């Protein structure tokens, strides 16, 4: 725990996540009561909590879901850059940031601002809310679109009439996206347990 503690002490909780994943690679198979709370807090940190909660609530989003999405996207690394050139905590593309900045309350937007947690949270939650609205409030479909893109989701939902969210998740043809949706939902549940 000392190694992870050192990582979080420097305001770099994402390093704590990486270290804990390396030290306990089977942590997902461990029942929550079998490890101390501190163990789970290193694996599921919640930095930027006041801003995250405020921006999520301002957009009528579950803060635990937003935290779960961020953990899956960037592990709370504000400097993260994806292979698709999406930036920051919520992995927002610069073009998306430019489109949504003003509506999200961000003035004088530049793409470098996506590496500022407060800006990324404002724009990222606005983007997620707009996607959720376009998908009729379906969290599972919105998460699939967030990962694989809206065009792919539009194709997938024509394949069948899904009675249950789990049925839709199991039908996702990309393993990465299916695992992503399940991962975000699992993370959100852990955040609900750890930070009620």
Active site residues: 73
Instruction: List, in sequence order, the alpha helices (H) in the chain.
Output: 2-9, 13-23, 37-43, 49-58, 63-73, 94-100, 117-134, 139-148, 150-156, 165-171, 175-194
Residue 36: partners with Cβ closer than 8 Å, 6 or more residues away = none
Check residue 102 and report its DSSP letter.
T
Residue 97's nearest CA partner among 107, 111, 85 is: 111
> 61 to each of 55, 98, 125, 128, 154, how far by Cα in Å?
8, 22, 8, 9, 22
Structure tokens at 27: 């942590």
Three-class secondary structure assignment of 87-100: ECCCCECHHHHHHH
């Amino acid at each position: 725990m000392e190694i992870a503690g050192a990582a979080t002490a420097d305001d770099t909780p994402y390093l704590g996540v990486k270290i804990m994943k390396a030290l306990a690679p089977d942590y997902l198979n461990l029942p929550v009561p079998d490890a101390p709370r501190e163990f789970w807090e290193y694996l599921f940190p919640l930095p930027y909590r006041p801003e995250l909660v405020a921006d999520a609530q301002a957009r009528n989003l579950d803060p635990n879901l937003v935290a779960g999405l961020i953990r899956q996207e960037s592990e709370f690394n504000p400097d993260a850059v994806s292979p698709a050139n999406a930036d920051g905590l919520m992995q927002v593309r610069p073009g998306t940031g430019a489109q949504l900045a003003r509506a999200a309350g961000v003035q004088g937007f530049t793409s470098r601002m996506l590496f500022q947690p407060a800006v990324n949270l404002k724009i990222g939650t606005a983007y997620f809310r707009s996607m959720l609205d376009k998908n009729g409030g379906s969290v599972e479909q919105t998460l699939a679109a967030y990962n694989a893109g809206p065009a792919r989701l539009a194709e997938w939902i024509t394949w069948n009439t899904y009675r249950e969210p789990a049925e839709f998740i199991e039908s996702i043809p990309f393993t990465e996206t299916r695992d992503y949706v399940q991962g975000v939902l699992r993370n959100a549940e852990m955040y609900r347990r750890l930070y009620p």
